[in-house]
Structure 1
C-alpha cells in the first residue's frame, strides 16, 4: 500500500471525529501540498467553523475513521451494473443479516471497479453520523469532493498490512487484509493471556510472516513488544496519504451531492498526475518526442513542397524564355505564355476561342435538336449573353455538357444565359 499521493494537487484532508458534530468538536486535519517533497503531514485540530478555507484549486477529502466502518464482500446478481437504480436495494437485501443496524440507517458504498469484480467489497457506516458531519463541513464553507476510508482491504496482490495508531494507552492495532477486510483491537485487548497478539488478531503463521507493520511514534514500543521485530516507524497520520491515493470514494447513492464538483476534481487530479508524477515521466517524454517528430516531419514536408514548386516555376520560366526570347521579366510564366500565344494568334489572323465567330459556331454545334437559336444576344471578347432563350432541363444539361467539351462555360445570369470561353474567363 503506497504511502504517498500520486496527485500533485493541493489537498485538504479532514478526518471525521467519532461523535456527532458540535461547536466544540475538533476535526483532525492536514494539508497535502502540491510539491512532491512536501509529503510529511502536519496534523492539526480545529472546530468545523475554524477549519482552513479551501480555494478552487484545492481538493477537500473527508476521511472516515477505521472504527466507523465495517467491511463486507458480496456476490451481486449478474447484470446489476446495467440497472443502477437497483444497486442500493440489492446491497441492502444482501447485507440485511450481516449489519447490526437496520439497512435503511446504514450508508453503503461499493469499491470503484465493482462491476468487473466477482465479489466486490462494500463499506458500511452510520448514515446519520456521516451525513451530519458532511452538513457541518458544508455549513463551514467546505465542499467535500471525496469521502475515503482511513484504511481499506487492499488488493489480492498486496500483503496483510498492520497499522499501529495512537499510543500505548488509547491506541489500536488495525489489520488490512485483502480477503477478510479491515478490523482492529485496542492495545489493552492484545496483552499476553495465553494467546499471542497475532493469534488474537486471527492471523495465521503464513500471514504473520508476510505481514508489514507500520506504527506511529506513540505505538512503536508497544508494537515491538507484542509483535516482535520488523516494525517501521510512520509519522503521525502518514497513512492518510495512502488513503487519499487509493481509488475509494464513499460518496455514493444518497451522498452523491456535489458529484459534478467531485468529478472536476478527479479530472484535475488526473491531469496533475499526468503532468507532474514521476511515474508518468516516460509517457511525457514519449509524447514530446512524438510531437517533435511531427513538427520536424511537417517542416520537412513543407520544405520539400516549396522546393518542388520552385523547381516547377523555374521550368515554366525557362520554357517561356526559350519560346519567347523577347521576354525579359517573368512574373507569372503560365499567364505570360498564354498572353504571348494569344498575341501570335491575333497577329496571324486566326480565330480564338473568345472570338464571336468561334463562339457562334460552338453554340450552333451544341444546340440540341428542336431547340431554336436565340434571337437576342450581346457579345464582348470571350463572353456572349443570350436573351429570350428558354431551354428545358434536359436541353440545358445537354447544352452544358457539349459546350464544356468544346472549352466553354454555360450558366444562368439574371434573366438570361452567359457563355464564356474558359481559357479567357476571368475569375
Structure 2
C-alpha cells in the first residue's frame, strides 16, 4: 500500500506555503525517503497513494501523562471533558481551544500519554489540504515518547544553520532545543549524565558532526526523513473527538471522488465495459428465464383448458379452467345425490374421526355451506394441536375464531403465472 506523508508547517496555511512530503511504497521501513516540497495544490493526488498521513511536527506538540478515572473507558461521551479537567492546570492555554489525543491502547495503560496541540492551527491545515484535493486519512506525531521503558532517544534534525535536538523520554515526553555552529555544549537538554550516556543518539547528515561535538557523544547517521517512517509505523492517530467525525466525512468525500473517477477516467474504461457487459448478460438471462416460465405457464393453462373441453364439451368459454372444472364436478355430484367434502354430514364425520379419544363431539355448532362453527368447546393445547393435524390431513382447516372454533375446507392454492 502506497502512503503519502505530508508534514504540516508550524505556521498557519497561506497560498504560497510549501508542504514537505514524501511517497513511500508497500514496505516503507525497507526504503529511503525522498523528501520533496510542493504547494498544497501540487501535492500527489490521493488516487495514487492508498493512504495519506499528516505529520504533526514535534515543535507543535506538548506531551502529558494523566491518571484517568476508573471506568472512564466505558463512557466515551466524557473522555474529552475528563482530559480537559485533568490538564487544565498544566496548560498555558484554555483546554477548550486545544486539541487533545490519547495514546493507542490507553484503556490498558495506567498512565497514558496525551498529545496536545493548537486546534485552530491543526484544523486550518486539514481544511487547506482538503480544499487542495488531498484527503487526510491519519494524523500522527513526528516524534513519540518511547513506550515500555525503552531507552531515551536524542534525534537531531535539520542542517548546520537550522538544527534541532529532540529528546524522546519515556517519562517526560518529547522536548527539543535549537542549536547551530555557534551554540555551546547542549547541556540544557535536561538529561542527567547517566541518561546521556545510555541514550540512543541519531542525527541527519547535515547535523551529525555538530551534534557529536556539542554532546561529546557519538551520533549514529540517520537518513533524512527516516523518523517519518518510524512515525507512520506506530499506531498513533491524533484524529480523535471532533476530528474523528471530520475524518469520517473526509473518507466519505474521498469515496465519492473515487467513484466519480472510476466512472469518468479513461483508465477505468475496460472495467466499466466489463461491468456493463455483466449487467447486460444478467438482464438477458433474467428475460430468458421469465419468457420460459411464462411459456410453461401458458402451456399448462392450455392443457387444463383442453382437458375441460374434452371432459365437459358443453363448456363454450374457458376463463379459469381449474375453477370451472371444479364447478362442473360439483354439479355432477349434486345431481347424483353424493355427499361433498363441504356437506354437514362429511364435516361431522371428519371432526368425529379427528377428535381425541377423551373428547366428545361438541353439541353446540352452526353449519354454513362449506364450514362448521363449533361453540362451547375448550380443548387443551395438546388436544388442539392433535385435532388440527388430523383435520389438516383430511383437507380441512381448524382455527379459533373469537370464543368459537371454525372448521372448513382448505382452499386450493392459487395458480401463478
TM range (shorter): 0.5 to 0.7
CA contact (8 A) 2:166 2:176 kept: yes
Equivalent residues, number: 300
Q: Does 2:168 align with 1:180?
A: no
Q: Which has the higher contact order (CA 8 A, sep 6+)?
A: 1
User: Of 165, 180, 204, which aligns to 1:216?
Assistant: 204
2-side partners of 1:255 and 1:364: how far apart? 71
CA deviations 1:135-179 (Å, max 9, x no partner) are 110110112111111001121331111111111221111110010
Mapped contact 1:12–1:59 kept (Cα < 8 A) = yes
Residue 196 of structure 2: SS of its match in structure 1? Answer: helix
Does 2:146 match 1:158?
no
Taking only aligned residues, the RMSD between alpha carbons, in angstroms, comes to 4.0
Q: Distance in 1 between matches of 2:149 and 2:373?
A: 85
CA contact (8 A) 1:80 1:86 kept: yes
Aligned to 1:90, the other structure's residue is in SS state: helix
Q: What is the deviation of 1:410?
A: 5.2
TM-score (norm 2): 0.60
Alpha-carbon offset, residue 261 of structure 1 = 6.1
Secondary structure in 2 matching 1:217: coil
The match for 2:87 is: 95
Q: Does 1:63 align with 2:51?
A: no
Q: 1:412 aligns with which of 389, 392, 396?
A: 396
Alignment check: 8 A CA contact 1:107 1:127 kept: yes
Look up the match of 2:224: 236
Task: Tell me the residue number matched to 1:348.
Answer: none
Aligned CA distance change for structure 1 residues 229 and 417 (closer, same or farther; 3 Å)? same
| 1:259–1:363 Cα change, 3 Å | same
Paired residues of 2:66 and 2:86 also in contact (CA < 8 A): yes
Aligned equivalent of 2:42 = 50
Deviation at 1:180, TM superposition (A): 0.5
Structure 2 unaligned regions, length at least 5: 253-349, 364-369, 399-406, 411-417
**Residues 1:207 and 2:207 aligned together:** no
CA contact (8 A) 1:146 1:262 kept: no
Task: Using the TM superposition, give the Cα deviation of residue 94 of structure 1 relative to its aligned residue in structure 2, in angstroms.
Answer: 3.1
* Alignment CA distance shift 1:158-1:75 (3 Å): same
Tell me by how many angstroms 1:90 deviates. 3.4
| 1:254 matched to 2:233 | no
The answer to whether residue 2 in structure 2 is matched with residue 14 in structure 1 is no
Show the counterpart of 1:145.
137
Mean Cα displacement is larger for which, 78-87 or 163-172?
78-87
Compared CA separation, residues 65 and 412, structure 1 to 2 (3 A): same
Displacement of 1:263: 8.4
CA distance 1:87–1:413, shift in 2 (3 Å): closer
C-alpha separation in 1, matches of 2:71 and 2:13 = 40
Q: Return the offset for 1:210.
A: 2.5
**Cα distance in 1, alignment partners of residues 223 and 190 from structure 2:** 27
The 8 Å contact of residues 161 and 181 in structure 2, kept in 1 or not, is answered as: no
Bigger mean CA offset, 230-239 vs 25-34: 230-239
Deviation at 1:81, TM superposition (A): 3.4
The superposition leaves residues 259-292 of structure 1 with CA deviations (integer Å, 9 ceiling, x where unpaired) of 436889xxxxxxxxxxxxxxxxxxxxxxxxxxxx
Instruction: Write the deviation string for residues 357-390 of structure 1: whole angstroms up to 9, x where unpaired.
Output: xxx9x96998765589xxxxxxxxxxxxxx9988
Q: Quick one: structure 1 residues 79 and 169, their matched pair in 2 at CA, closer, same or farther if it must change by over 3 Å?
A: same
Give CA-to-partner distance per residue, 1:308-351, whole Å, 9 cap, x none.
xxxxxxxxxxxxxxxxxxxxxxxxxxxxxxxxxxxxxxxxxxxx
Structure 1 residue runs without a partner (length 5+): 1-8, 265-359, 373-386, 419-427
Flag the 1:221–1:16 CA change in 2: closer, same or farther, 3 A. same
Query: Is the alpha carbon distance of 1:202 and 1:36 closer, same or farther for their aligned partners in structure 2, counting shifts above 3 Å?
Result: closer
Q: Distance in 1 between matches of 2:385 and 2:85?
A: 78
Q: What is the DSSP-based 3-state SS (H/G/I as helix, E as strand, rest coil) of the residue aligned with 1:258?
A: helix
